[in-house]
Chains A and B, each alone.
Chain A
Amino acid sequence: MSEPRDSLLKVRDLRIGATVYPPGEKPHEIEIVHGVSFDLEPGRVLGLIGESGAGKSTIGLASMAYGRGGVKITGGEVRVNGRDILKTSLSDLRRLRGGEVTYVSQSAAASFNPAKPIMEQVTEAAVRHGKFTRKQAEDRAVGLFRKLGLPNPETIGKRYPHQVSGGQLQRCMTALALCPEPDLVVFDEPTTALDVTTQIDVLMAIKEAIRDTGVAAIYITHDLAVVAQVSDDIMVLKLGDMVEYGTTDQIINNPQEEYTQALVSVRSIRHEEKQPTDTPLLQVENVTARYKGTKFDVLKDVNVELHPGQTLAVVGESGSGKSTLARVITGLLPPGAGRIVFDGHELTPDLATRPRDDLRELQMIYQMADVAMNPRQTVGTIIGRPLEFYFGLRGAEKRRRVQELLDEIEMGEGFIDRYPAELSGGQKQRVCIARALAAKPKLIICDEVTSALDPLVADGILKLLLNLQKIEDVAYLFITHDLATVRAIADSIAVMYQGQVVRYGTKSEVLSPPFDDYTDLLLSSVPEMRLGWLEDVIASRRMESAGN
């Protein structure tokens, strides 16, 4: 403790290269991080934020002198506790990794060895590095388990990774990183794979653990609202370049760069709620459904309505049955009980028996645009097929209409002969939207259509969808887990939990108190883009539980 209070981590002009393997070409090196510099003092938390390809994970791992796959650190210096770890010996690096600097990955489920009990893995680094004896390390681990709010902290270490839930395992991974008393922990998207109500628990646990142990941390995420809750400073990255670097307060409340401003104002789309009409377009009546060969209902007595030209958002976490509802409406999964009324007539339960016009008027857009398009068909073929199939358009006429649709989704000339693999993620999703529109539908089911996209791209898609709704007067059944999206586009909302609709009404009704317990939990768990949000939630939840 006598050393001068210097930077714990000092990164100067860090350059990182990667080998890429473009199909049909020789593999070659490209630079993916172009000279990034920053300092981190003991006990501080730095948030690294950016969209995919920003290089944030790569920079995080560079603080352990580690390159994943074909990634190599090509220049600059990284100093940890004063020494340049890019030039140090391998045995010194080993002391650093797992001793001074530790790592928490996005997927704890994959990062734990499936063949060993949790305790052995949590204490391994501390014991191997000679920091603690096995007994000390185990005691310390139990303490950490308790601090992180894991159930049965005394015995959970005896379990195997597959025997605990995803959120619990993510907390075990945090314990693993904190067990050897490191100086610095790299958190790499630790809550991204979790449901929103689980995320808040893990986030709280991580935040408290950081505060109580006084460890410094690098917190990597694509979600600015999340990073705002845990970090002291934030660095915004874009395609391997630093865009802006400042205190959390400055970045959130007074962003200087245009890109940062865009990130901060993401999901700020607002849309005027429309009132229900007299004749709903879609009525789901008392629908109950289960998958073949299973014994429990994934949908239980579901009732919702959707009005022409409006948007019904179906919101819920994984396992809530929201995607199953889409499968029932489209006829992929015939319901066990109940009926679907569409545009004044009842739809047959099974897809195979529906008339072509019913199929045409009810289109679907998927979460993963990559696999929703046949990789062997061009954009022209993909969008053209519904035109040909439903309207008999051919040749020049079809091509002209395809181009019109491409214009409508703001893609313009030059895309018609491309293959899906040549498009970006956002462009792919736009083509899927055009394919749905080509059928001139009355209803489009959107299944998590923005979840796989970066926030700014997702915003673009949402704006496009809202615009198209105005022009084409099409209704959306919008399935999502993201409440911010719901706020942005919904006219009415159905909240689903374990196969049931627990709350249903217009947007203003659903989003105003009094809430039922689940909706309350869900709404309060969505990170907000302001400082101190997490503390407020923690405080109010503690008060509530004290009050009960």
Chain B
Amino acid sequence: MVPALKLVVQRVALGLLLLFLVSVLIFAGTQILPGDVAQSILGQSATPEALANLRAELGLNEPAVTRYLDWLFGALQGDLGTALTNGASISESLGRRLGNTMFLAFWAAVVAVPLAIFLGLLAVRYRDRWPDKLISGVTLASISIPEFLIGYVLMYFVGVKLGLAPSVAMINDTMSLGQKLHAIALPVAVLTLVVLAHMMRMTRAAILNVMQSAYIETAELKGLSMFTIIWRHAFPNSIAPIVNVVMLNLAYLVVGVVVVEVVFTYPGMGQYLVDHVSKRDVPVVQACGLVFAAVYIGLNMIADIVSILSNPRLRHPK
């Protein structure tokens, strides 16, 4: 286990380093670029005194490094500062919305992951026959339309014309789980469609890759049944690539969520972020950006760790 463990520790360290650098990048991206926060808040007609006051209030006269360190240590203790627009604590608003976003992403994953793996297997089983071709055709179509349009197409046909699901996904704490699920049916469907295509295609490729290995031929020439071959020989070698596929697509889901929340006016992180970008509320944007990046980096890290752990060469060193 030693080399594998060492690699895992290295990968976690790399993840943390990346997160740190990303925080620098996000901070720098909002501070160094030409554009003055105070100016953007007060608009072009602001008096110089008002600008100076606001700058002092926001701490903009401090050197960038000091401001960054203040921000970073605050963030580490769970204090993301206050929103410029309404003075509310960002951590508080963010926490509630992050929960909602996770709720949405979780259910999308619950539907999409098993479905994608099942359809991927189906495509492999009927390779180059009509189910495979149909699946790849649908894939091509669905990666050619942006998420928000899939959202409106579904909303128009399923929500409005057929009346099967609500067009606006409002949820609150008083609703039961069933009511909540009904409310998010359409956004979940959109997110599922968005990641399904990629995930299916990648699952198909990953399994085909394994099935074309020489050791699968060996198993066939041992006279094993198809089920035994898949279960005993293909499956153990497919776990890593499939987990990788799933993680990469969950990371992709994180981005899809932003747009889908706006479409269905769902009270999550994505809408919060987009609203505050328009309002040029920099502290909120920084905080959201950091959280999204952290989730993204985390998922990618898990994918890498799973491949390290499932690699027999690393698990059983010479």
A and B touch in the complex (CB under 8 A): yes
Most buried by B among A103, A110, A111: A111
Whether B218 sits at the interface, judged by CB under 8 Å, is yes
One of B2-10, B18-26, B94-102, B209-217 at the interface: B209-217
Whether B225 sits at the interface, judged by CB under 8 Å, is yes
- CB-CB under 8 A from A128, the residues of chain B are 222-224, 228
Cβ-defined partner of B224 (8 Å) among A64, A96, A98, A114:
A98
Most buried by A among B215, B217, B228, B310: B215
Known contacts A128-B228, A160-B312, A163-B316; A97/B236 CB under 8 A: no
Whether A95 sits at the interface, judged by CB under 8 Å, is yes
Chain B residue with Cβ nearest A164: B318
- CB-CB under 8 A from A113, the residues of chain B are 215, 218-219, 233, 236-237
Cβ-defined partner of A162 (8 Å) among B218, B221, B233, B312:
B312
Q: How far is the CB of A260 from chain B (nearest CB, A)?
A: 30
Q: How far is the CB of B316 from chain A (nearest CB, A)?
A: 5
| Interface contact A97-B312, CB-CB below 8 Å | no
Render A55-76 as a binary contact track against B, CB cut-off 8 A, 1 for contact.
0000000001010100000000
Render B195-214 as a binary contact track against A, CB cut-off 8 A, 1 for contact.
00000000000000000011
Whether A310 sits at the interface, judged by CB under 8 Å, is no
- CB-CB under 8 A from A480, the residues of chain B are none
- CB-CB under 8 A from A111, the residues of chain B are 214-215, 217-218
| Interface contact B215-A99, CB-CB below 8 Å | no
Classify chain B: how many residues form its interface, as a range.
20 to 34
| Interface contact A103-B221, CB-CB below 8 Å | yes
Cβ-defined partner of B223 (8 Å) among A68, A99, A159, A160:
A99
Chain A residue with Cβ nearest B237: A115
Give the distance in Å from the alpha carbon of A105 to the alpha carbon of B313 in the complex.
22
| Interface contact B221-A102, CB-CB below 8 Å | yes
Render A95-135 as a binary contact track against B, CB cut-off 8 A, 1 for contact.
11111001101010011111110000100110011000000
- Residue pairs across A and B with CB atoms within 8 Å: the count is 76
Give the distance in Å from the alpha carbon of A68 to the alpha carbon of B233 in the complex.
18
Give the distance in Å from the alpha carbon of A159 to the alpha carbon of B315 in the complex.
12
Give the distance in Å from the alpha carbon of A94 to the alpha carbon of B222 in the complex.
7
Give the distance in Å from the alpha carbon of A96 to the alpha carbon of B222 in the complex.
9
Q: How far is the CB of A171 from chain B (nearest CB, A)?
A: 15
Q: How far is the CB of A480 from chain B (nearest CB, A)?
A: 28
Render B302-318 as a binary contact track against A, CB cut-off 8 A, 1 for contact.
00000000101100101
Give the distance in Å from the alpha carbon of A159 to the alpha carbon of B217 in the complex.
21
Whether B220 sits at the interface, judged by CB under 8 Å, is yes
Q: How far is the CB of A284 from chain B (nearest CB, A)?
A: 34
Whether A302 sits at the interface, judged by CB under 8 Å, is no
Most buried by A among B220, B221, B224, B232: B221
| Interface contact B215-A112, CB-CB below 8 Å | yes
Known contacts A160-B316, A163-B316, A163-B318; A110/B221 CB under 8 A: no
Within 8 A of B (CB), among A206-221: none
Known contacts A64-B221, A105-B214, A125-B223; A114/B318 CB under 8 A: no
Q: How far is the CB of B112 from chain A (nearest CB, A)?
A: 27
- CB-CB under 8 A from A68, the residues of chain B are 217
Known contacts A115-B236, A116-B236, A163-B316; A110/B214 CB under 8 A: yes
- CB-CB under 8 A from B313, the residues of chain A are 114, 160, 162
| Interface contact A112-B220, CB-CB below 8 Å | no
Cβ-defined partner of B213 (8 Å) among A97, A103, A110, A163:
A110
Chain A residue with Cβ nearest B316: A160
| Interface contact B220-A97, CB-CB below 8 Å | yes
| Interface contact B223-A112, CB-CB below 8 Å | no
| Interface contact B213-A98, CB-CB below 8 Å | no
Give the distance in Å from the alpha carbon of A93 to the alpha carbon of B220 in the complex.
10
Cβ-defined partner of B218 (8 Å) among A99, A112, A163:
A112
- CB-CB under 8 A from B218, the residues of chain A are 103, 105, 111-113, 121, 176
Within 8 A of A (CB), among B284-316: 310, 312-313, 316
| Interface contact A124-B215, CB-CB below 8 Å | no
Q: How far is the CB of A131 from chain B (nearest CB, A)?
A: 11
- CB-CB under 8 A from B222, the residues of chain A are 97-98, 102, 124-125, 128
Give the distance in Å from the alpha carbon of A332 to the alpha carbon of B313 in the complex.
32
| Interface contact A66-B221, CB-CB below 8 Å | yes
Cβ-defined partner of B312 (8 Å) among A95, A114, A129, A176:
A114
Q: How far is the CB of A391 from chain B (nearest CB, A)?
A: 49
Q: How far is the CB of B144 from chain A (nearest CB, A)?
A: 27
Known contacts A113-B219, A115-B236, A115-B237; A94/B213 CB under 8 A: no
- CB-CB under 8 A from A129, the residues of chain B are 223
- CB-CB under 8 A from B233, the residues of chain A are 113, 116
Give the distance in Å from the alpha carbon of A529 to the alpha carbon of B224 in the complex.
40
Q: How far is the CB of B287 from chain A (nearest CB, A)?
A: 42
Give the distance in Å from the alpha carbon of A333 to the alpha carbon of B213 in the complex.
36
Give the distance in Å from the alpha carbon of A99 to the alpha carbon of B225 in the complex.
13
Q: How far is the CB of A477 from chain B (nearest CB, A)?
A: 35
Give the distance in Å from the alpha carbon of A111 to the alpha carbon of B219 in the complex.
9
| Interface contact A115-B312, CB-CB below 8 Å | yes
- CB-CB under 8 A from A98, the residues of chain B are 221-224
Chain A residue with Cβ nearest B213: A110
Chain B residue with Cβ nearest A113: B215
Chain A residue with Cβ nearest B235: A115
| Interface contact B318-A162, CB-CB below 8 Å | yes
- CB-CB under 8 A from A96, the residues of chain B are 223
Within 8 A of A (CB), among B108-124: none
Give the distance in Å from the alpha carbon of A112 to the alpha carbon of B236 in the complex.
13
Give the distance in Å from the alpha carbon of A94 to the alpha carbon of B215 in the complex.
17
- CB-CB under 8 A from A93, the residues of chain B are 223
Give the distance in Å from the alpha carbon of A113 to the alpha carbon of B235 in the complex.
11
- CB-CB under 8 A from A107, the residues of chain B are 214
Most buried by B among A66, A99, A124: A124
Q: How far is the CB of B221 from chain A (nearest CB, A)?
A: 5
Q: How far is the CB of A392 from chain B (nearest CB, A)?
A: 50
Give the distance in Å from the alpha carbon of A193 to the alpha carbon of B261 in the complex.
58
Give the distance in Å from the alpha carbon of A163 to the alpha carbon of B314 in the complex.
11
Chain B residue with Cβ nearest A61: B221
Q: How far is the CB of A106 from chain B (nearest CB, A)?
A: 9
- CB-CB under 8 A from A163, the residues of chain B are 316, 318
Q: How far is the CB of B225 from chain A (nearest CB, A)?
A: 7
| 17 A-B interface contacts by CB (under 8 A) | A93-B223, A96-B223, A97-B223, A98-B224, A105-B214, A107-B214, A110-B213, A111-B214, A111-B215, A112-B215, A113-B219, A115-B236, A115-B310, A115-B312, A116-B233, A128-B222, A163-B316
Q: Which 8 A-B pairs have the closest CB atoms?
A: A98-B222, A97-B223, A98-B223, A110-B214, A94-B223, A125-B222, A115-B236, A113-B215
Instruction: Point out residues on A near B: beta carbons under 8 Å.
Output: 64, 66, 68, 93-99, 102-103, 105, 107, 110-116, 121, 124-125, 128-129, 159-160, 162-163, 176
14 additional contacts, CB 8 Å, given A98-B224, A162-B318, A163-B316?
Answer: A66-B220, A98-B222, A99-B223, A102-B221, A110-B213, A112-B215, A113-B237, A114-B237, A114-B313, A115-B310, A125-B222, A128-B223, A160-B316, A162-B316
